[in-house]
Amino acid sequence: MIGVGKIKQYSNVLDKPVSKGKQEVSLSAFAFLFSELVQYNQTQVDNIAELERRLEDAGYAVGARVLELLCHRDKGNRRETRLLGILSFVHSTVWKVLFGKVADSLEKGTEHEDEYMISEKELLVNRFISIPKDMGTFNCGAFVAGIVRGVLDGAGFPAVVTAHFVPVEGLLRPRTTILIKFAEEVLKREARLG
């Protein structure tokens, strides 16, 4: 029995360090599950705005949990308290855990002080989805917008988050932009902190 005693034994399950977790799941399995989620919600609503809201709510629950988990796993139970800190946490840490990569870009809105944008050339949830013409500007990225809202809300940065298709020159497919509009109180607090 070589190696016995090398593995540290923890008598109490609470003493065990939190495992990194399995880092990947099958993309196909996820795509089918997500497709069913959209199809199910479609049967429950009678307009597109409602569908978008339901997807966002589904994402919100994910976001709230992801924040909790990542703060515990990566940050030693600390979380970001500053605006830019939490944004880059979403843009890199959250994105990496959920989608296996950092988001393509994080920008500040040019017209409004309280708006930030996270853009993705090809959002993972939209990889296999073509929106029918009669659905207009509907974007399944609403689910991801919900995740972002869940993370921000949980961390004390209430915001309105929406997903939009933005056409890019020279590319066949539009990219998806997650638009984050922070609540007034967040910016006031941020100004106070200096």
Q: Which residues bind other proteins (CB under 8 A)?
A: 28, 31-32, 34-39, 42, 128-132, 135, 140, 172-173
Residue with smaller CB distance to other proteins, 23 or 43: 43
Minimum CB separation from other proteins for residue 39, in Å? 5
Percent helix / strand / coil, the chain, rounded to 5: 50, 15, 40
CB atoms under 10 Å from CB of 166, counted, come to 11
Minimum CB separation from other proteins for residue 98, in Å? 18
Query: Cα dist. 10→39, 59, 142, 182, 191 in Å?
Result: 45, 36, 43, 44, 47
Question: CA–CA separation, 64 vs 15, rounded Å?
Answer: 25
Question: CA–CA separation, 173 vs 160, rounded Å?
Answer: 25
CB atoms under 10 Å from CB of 118, counted, come to 25
Minimum CB separation from other proteins for residue 136, in Å? 13
Residue with smaller CB distance to other proteins, 84 or 171: 171
Minimum CB separation from other proteins for residue 134, in Å? 10
